[in-house]
A and B are shown apart, each in its own frame.
Chain A
Amino acid sequence: MSELLKHPGESGNEDATPEAKAAAHSRRTFLFKLSVLLNAAVGTVLAVPIAGYLLGPTMRRSTSAGAWITIGSVDQFPVGETRLVDFNSPAARLGDGETAKVACWVRRISAQQFQVFAINCAHLGCPVRWFAQSRLLMCPCHGGAYYEDGSRASGPPERGLFEYKYKLVGNSLTIHAGGMPTLATQASCSEKQKPLIQIQTANDSHGTEAS
């Protein structure tokens, strides 16, 4: 420290009495502490909106992003078959490019009854593939398998496939699509959130919203 120059005003301090030194010291110390407080206050005011910006994606409004979109005419889906359908995510934003596209499996049970499955495996989100001959959906990542009604058949998934809510508007099939489906974020942004993690029971109801 001795190499550093002293402030001109401070040079007299060495001759002063300890009391005087203490007095001078304490006023500056006080001002310094005050300035630290001031910066803490300014820092907080600065930090709150920054934290808000960072946590923006977690806020309610963006998580419930979802909309009813039409994925095709009912005639595209023969009864008893399961078909792959692509659509553009209603949650897509500028610059998403190809990642804005979403695929889903549409199973037509009867004239009015459908099931629309998310492509994402309920285990870790990999894309499942439909095998019409064995009536199974299989996942390439860790070997999860599902029956044609989306219920778990075997492998690591702890529940069946995620399902989109659907309704028939005129002659077209409409689904409620939103975010990427995971155990915590269901495919169809349903009004009543299902529990975070559930092991599916044998006769869980499917596709209830037929109109």
Chain B
Amino acid sequence: MADMKKRIIDAGLKGYAWLENRLGLIKPMMDAAAHPTPANNASWLYVFGSAATVLLILQVVTGVLLALVYSPSASEAWGSLNLLNHNIALGWYLRALHGWGSDFMIAIVILHMIQVFLFGAYKFPRELTWIVGVLLLLMTLGMAFTGQVMRFDQDAYWGLGIGASISSRVPFIGAPLVHLVLGGPIIGAATLSRFFTLHVFVIPGLLLASVGVHVFMVLKHGVSDWPMPGRIVTKATYEREYHELTAKTGIPFVPDAAWKDAVFAAAILFAVMACAFYFGPFGPSGQPDPTIIQTAPKPDFAFLWIYAVLAFLPPSIETPVMLVVPVLGIAFLLLLPIFYSEGERHWARRPVAVLMVSVIAVSLGIFTRLGTYTPWSPIMEAWAADATPIRYLHDRTPLERQGAMVLQNKQCRNCHSLAGVGGLRGPALDAIAARMTEDQIIRQVLQGGGNMPAYGNALNPSETKALVAFLETLRGHDLAPATDASRTLANASAMQTPASREMPKSGTP
């Protein structure tokens, strides 16, 4: 028996020797895995890069599996996704894994970037590692956007329209660019095919190659040591200091440091599986039929902030901002390590870096939050679906009630809320008469202004009269009605008794 065991082991060793003699890759890879790394970076904050790689592998595997069923054709893609969701055993789960894996990958890549930035790990000699990392972030976002197009539903269709409209704003080459993006004059078969090519061949190829270069450079320069306040990076001394530190405190990366990476990667994979199982796949929403206009297209989570920013830019600066700011932002990220390759690494000595991360994080958070409920969009059904609050109809004259009807019927509620229900585009009307006089309300309704359309052509005089009469009753919790101070003065100067003309007409006659 023992003889048997020995023979099997011998055969195994001989097989390994044969393979390594021919291949020559196993030992170098094992050596690379076990390379010494400073003990101080075997930390739970150094695990994001490996987790992102694990998620990339998950995306590749689930993507290949989805491609077994998915049909990248404009007439069939939406149907094949529904087939995956409902008719293919566990198809829904694979779609959910791929979708949640994508969201997690973006989150982990951004965490990785924030950690590297705050730890000053992009400084000498790891500048190029950072630059390739920025390209990896852009490719990850590119995968997210093209992946959203793969889900060829209403959101994907109109998202492509938004992409084409942004392209059309590029000076001089706008029109050819639109046709290059769409693959033709309309969003259709050619559009889906080219985004499929990008999503499945072009970007993944570049992504995997760039990850290879990124990891190669990490091995070449070593994982950055834990920053200490006052320990300055200079090109003359850093590499010597790093090698001394590694020689003094070095531990083999595998297994002494890598177990934390492995545990975190497992936790992330488990989180992806849990989200996929409990929340299921993303969409597809309605079919990509552009004649179905009862839709409110919205991009995926990672791009909601852009969607929000596009709602707030004034028309006059929108195109320049849309085209210039992304270029500047990306250029800043790419050039950052070139201009700041030396100096302090520790976040406590880099207040500007900490401030930048905080401001950007808060801004993106706010815009994303706004993107989830789009307060700038009219609520298309509000006028017909949201009831007028009963307390606003109590004790009102027939004219005022008629005005409440006008308010509903003319779609005012699409943009203005009453009692917290309705659109958020314009101000809530609950206390409008406490802020505006009757004259001001009439002017605003008929002529518009301040982002409100003019309703002069949509209201006849009796409708206007009724509407304003109703609005005059909306004074919150019995606030004083707005008064026009100039009227009082005018009346006073006309030598009339001030007491009798003190107040303009009250809203409730």
A residues bordering B, Cβ < 8 Å? Answer: 55, 57-58, 62-63, 65-66, 84, 86, 89, 91-103, 119-120, 123-129, 131, 133-136, 138-143, 145, 147-148, 153-158, 178-180, 182-185, 196-197, 199
The reply to whether the CB of B409 lies closer than 8 angstroms to some CB of chain A is yes
**B186-A179 in contact (CB<8A):** yes
Which residues from 238 to 269 on chain B have a C-beta closer than 8 Å to any C-beta of chain A? Answer: none
Assess whether A91 is in contact with B185, with CB atoms less than 8 Å apart: yes
Query: Given the complex, which residues of B lie within 8 Å of A184, measured CB to CB?
Result: 167-170, 174-175, 177-178
Whether A124 contacts B165 by the Cβ 8 Å rule is yes
- A98-B288, A196-B174 known; A133+B410 contact, CB < 8 A: yes
Q: Identify A103's interface contact among B291, B380, B458, CB under 8 A.
A: B291
List of B residues within 8 angstroms of A57 by Cβ = 179-180, 182-184, 190
- Bound-state Cα–Cα, A120 to B310, Å: 16
Q: Judging by beta carbons under 8 Å apart, are B311 and A156 in contact?
A: yes
Report how far A178 CA is from B188 CA in the complex, Å: 13
- When chains A and B are docked, how far (Å) is the Cα of A180 from the Cα of B495? 65
Residues of A within 8 A of B455 (CB): 134
What residues of chain A lie closer than 8 Å to B316, measured between beta carbons? 158, 199
In the assembled complex, the Cα of A147 lies from the Cα of B455 at a distance in Å of: 9
**A96 and B293: CB pair below 8 A?**
no
Specify which of A65, A136, A197 lies most central, judged by the most chain B CB atoms within 10 Å of its CB.
A136
Partner of B75, one of A95, A120, A136: A95
| A183 with B287: CB separation less than 8 A | no
The 10 residue pairs across chains A and B that have the minimum distance between CB atoms: A97-B75, A179-B185, A184-B174, A182-B168, A125-B161, A153-B453, A58-B176, A96-B188, A184-B168, A95-B189
Chain B residues, Cβ within 8 Å of A99 = 74, 157, 186-189, 191, 288-290
The verdict on A196 contacting B165 (CB below 8 Å), with A127-B293, A141-B297, A156-B311 known, is no
Total contacts A to B, CB within 8 angstroms? 229
Residues B411-449 near A (CB distance < 8 A): 411-412, 414-415, 425, 448
Instruction: Number of B interface residues at 8 Å Cβ cutoff, please give it.
Output: 73
Point out the residues of chain A lying under 8 angstroms from B287, CB to CB: 98
Q: Does B377 contact A (CB under 8 A)?
A: yes
Given contacts A123-B165, A154-B452, A156-B313, contact A180 B380 (CB under 8 A): no
Asked if B171 CB lies within 8 Å of chain A CBs, one says: yes
Partner pick for A140 among B162, B184, B191, B380, CB 8 A cutoff: B380
SS of A interface (majority): loop
Chain A's nearest CB lies how many Å from the CB of B2? 40
B414 pairs with A127, CB closer than 8 A: no
B76 at the binding interface (Cβ < 8 Å): yes
CB neighbours (8 Å) of B479 from chain A are: none
Interface string of B275-302 (1 = CB under 8 A from A): 0000000000001111101111100000
Q: Are B311 and A142 in contact (CB under 8 A)?
A: yes
**A49 CB → nearest B CB, Å:** 17
In the bound assembly, the distance between CA atoms of A152 and B411 in angstroms comes to 18
**Chain B nearest CB, measured from A139 CB (Å):** 8
Q: A97-B76, A103-B290, A157-B315 are in contact. Are A180 and B189 (CB under 8 A)?
A: no
Write the chain B residue with the least CB distance to A98: B289
B164 within 8 A of A: yes
Contact A86 B293 (CB under 8 A): no
**Minimum distance in angstroms from A106 CB to a CB of chain B:** 13
Of residues 373 through 424 on chain B, the ones whose CB sits less than 8 Å from some CB of chain A are 376-378, 380, 383, 409-412, 414-415
B354 at the interface (CB under 8 A from A): no
Most chain A CB within a 10 A radius of its CB, from B73, B411, B453, B457: B453
A157–B177 Cα distance when bound, in Å, is 21
Set of chain A residues within 8 Å of B414, measured between Cβ atoms:
131, 138
Chain B: residues with CB nearer than 8 A to chain A?
73-76, 157-158, 161-162, 164-172, 174-180, 182-191, 287-291, 293-297, 307, 310-311, 313-316, 318-319, 376-378, 380, 383, 409-412, 414-415, 425, 448, 451-455, 457-458
19 extra interface residue pairs, beta carbon distance < 8 Å, beyond A58-B180, A178-B185? A96-B74, A98-B290, A101-B291, A125-B158, A125-B162, A126-B161, A129-B293, A133-B409, A135-B457, A140-B377, A143-B311, A145-B378, A180-B164, A180-B185, A182-B178, A184-B178, A185-B185, A196-B171, A197-B319
Contact B310 A183 (CB under 8 A): no
- Nearest-Cβ distance from residue B25 to partner chain A, whole angstroms: 15
Q: Evaluate contact between A154 and B448: CB separation under 8 angstroms.
A: yes
What are some 16 contacts across the A-B interface (CB < 8 A)? Answer: A58-B177, A62-B184, A91-B184, A96-B189, A100-B186, A127-B158, A128-B293, A129-B294, A131-B383, A141-B307, A147-B453, A148-B457, A153-B454, A155-B376, A179-B186, A182-B168
B contact residues around A185 at 8 Å (CB):
168, 174-175, 178-179, 185
Residues on the B chain within 8 Å of A128, using CB = 293
Chain A residue numbers with a CB within 8 Å of B453 are 134, 136, 145, 147, 153-154
Known: A154-B453, A156-B310. A92 touches B186 (CB 8 A): yes
Q: Which residues of B lie under 8 Å from residue A126 when comparing CB positions?
A: 158, 161-162, 297
Q: Which residues of B contact A120 (CB under 8 A)?
A: 161, 165
Question: Are A138 and B185 interface neighbours, CB within 8 A?
Answer: no
Task: Look across to chain A and name the residue whose beta carbon is closest to the beta carbon of B415.
Answer: A143
Complex CA–CA separation, A131 to B458 (angstroms): 11
CA distance A127 to B154 in the complex (A): 11
Residue of A nearest to B161 (CB): A125
- Are A183's CB and B165's CB within 8 A? yes
A96-B75, A147-B453 are known contacts. Are A125 and B165 too (CB-CB below 8 A)? yes
Are A131 and B411 in contact (CB-based, < 8 A)? yes
Q: A57-B179, A158-B315, A179-B179 are in contact. Are A97 and B376 (CB under 8 A)?
A: no
Contact B291 A86 (CB under 8 A): yes
What's the Cα separation between A3 and B33 when bound, in Å?
A: 25
B178 to chain A, nearest CB (A): 5
> Is B179 in contact with A147, judged by CB distance below 8 angstroms?
no
Chain B residues within an 8 Å CB radius of A123: 165, 310
